[in-house]
A = this chain, B = another copy of it.
Amino acid sequence: MTAAGVVEVIGVPGLPEVRPGDDVGELIAAHARLQDEDIVVVAQKIVSKAEGRIRSLKVVEPGESALRYAERLQADPRVIQVILDETVRVVRDERVLIVETRQGYVCANAGVDHSNVPGADSVTLLPEDSDASASALRRRLEELTGRRLGLIVADTFGRAWRMGITNVALGVAGLPALVDYRGRPDDFGQELTATLVAVADEVACAAELVMGKTDRLPVAVVRGYRPPAPPGSGRDLIRPPELDLFR
């Protein structure tokens, strides 16, 4: 960023409902006027739908563990079973299931969600590999538009200690996830500490301001942000269990 830099966050309206097999890149390219260096932030929900990461609850048989959690949490045992199928470790089971997913995220309900899914009996799952989803979608969009782009697949997660959910970057392609300011001198020449900044999460948060939760605006463009580091991946943002004091 130059000192006088301006970052713009632009909602992309008009996208139709996404269905399994849809070409999300084509849908976005048809509705957004992209420029070089734009970062396209795409809601996980439409990526999951296009990838067919939808499960019908009608065919789910809850096991014993799911039935037990469901009773305690007053939840649909079939939904709990789907959550457990995505889970490698239950981190907390009071009030809500906070789990570590197969992808390594720690989040509520393994990201399984039944909002904005057509039909009361279906839920969406997080993408199998959000970085792969982000890379593929970026490649497709670059091919269709001829622009050099960054791409983030984002979802809203809760936090320990703070109320409310915020957008986070699950998949990242073409931009850094983290910028490491450690070791750079600060304004007084001292070495900075604790300044590994999760810029992809911050870009995702900026995008959420125009995406909303009910406006059917699953795509936003962040323009004018030039992160001062080489590209990374969403995996960079996952704290390894051995560095995590809270699971």
Binds B, one of A6-14, A58-66, A132-140, A143-151: A6-14
CA distance A163 to B241 in the complex (A): 11
Interface size bracket, A side: 35 or more
Interface string of A8-45 (1 = CB under 8 A from B): 11110110010000000000000000000000000000
Establish whether residues B1 and A115, one from each chain, have CB atoms under 8 Å apart when the complex forms.
no
State how many copies of this chain the complex holds: 2
Q: Confirm or deny: A141 has a beta carbon within 8 angstroms of a beta carbon on chain B.
A: no
Give A153 Cβ to nearest chain B Cβ, in Å: 15
A positions within 8 Å CB-CB of B: 1, 3-11, 13-14, 17, 92, 94-95, 98, 105-109, 114-120, 156, 158-168, 177-178, 181, 184-188, 190-199, 201-203, 205-206, 208-210, 212-217, 222, 225, 236-239, 243-247
Given contacts A1-B209, A117-B188, A165-B195, 17 further A-B contacts (CB under 8 A): A3-B14, A4-B11, A4-B13, A6-B8, A7-B210, A95-B245, A108-B194, A156-B197, A163-B196, A163-B198, A163-B236, A163-B239, A163-B243, A166-B201, A185-B214, A186-B213, A205-B205
